[in-house]
Amino acid sequence: MLHLKEGDKAPVFKGKDQHGNTVSLKDFKGKKVVLYFYPRDMTPGCTAQACNLRDNYAVLTQKGFVVIGVSADTEKSHQKFTQKYDLPFILLADEDKKIVEQYGVYGEKKFMGRVFDGIHRTTFLINEKGIIDKIINKPNTKNHTAEILSC
């Protein structure tokens, strides 16, 4: 796993969102970005996190943030997730795991005694110049917006 640090330049990514549009970090130059990585659509923790961001989306946008979620799910899965929970932000489908590997959030995990490779729940706060201001490891899914705003 690549280990990015606060103060590093954020790796430029490109991927397809839930609507099939190509999205790149370059598209948000001059804006603050909440780039959050999560394991899987429709799971309890990931749903709680997405809904917390949804419920506080107006506050985040007022503070100048663009919110982008990334998982290895398909565009179709993201579309269903977005529709079911009325999510107003971008979800990128990273099926080939290029973005998660660029950001160093894909690797060995342990859950219920099982060891497997997967996405580590991590959020990167990227400033207007494309620099990582803050990395939130293992964010609190139910209070993630508060964590972001306290940084």
Q: Annotated catalytic, 46?
A: yes
Could you give the CA distance from residue 138 to residue 151 in angstroms, rounded to a whole number? 15
Q: Are 122 and 137 in contact (CB under 8 A)?
A: yes
Strand 132-137 and strand 22-24: pairing? unpaired
Choosing from 10, 34, 35, 46, which is the catalytic residue? 46
* β strands within the chain, DSSP E: 14-17, 22-24, 32-37, 65-71, 90-93, 106-111, 114-119, 122-126, 132-137
> What three-state secondary structure class fits 6?
coil
For the chain, the first-to-last Cα distance in angstroms comes to 25
Both tokens of residue 59?
């506050």
Residue entry with tokens 């919110």: 67
Question: Which residues are catalytically annotated?
Answer: 46
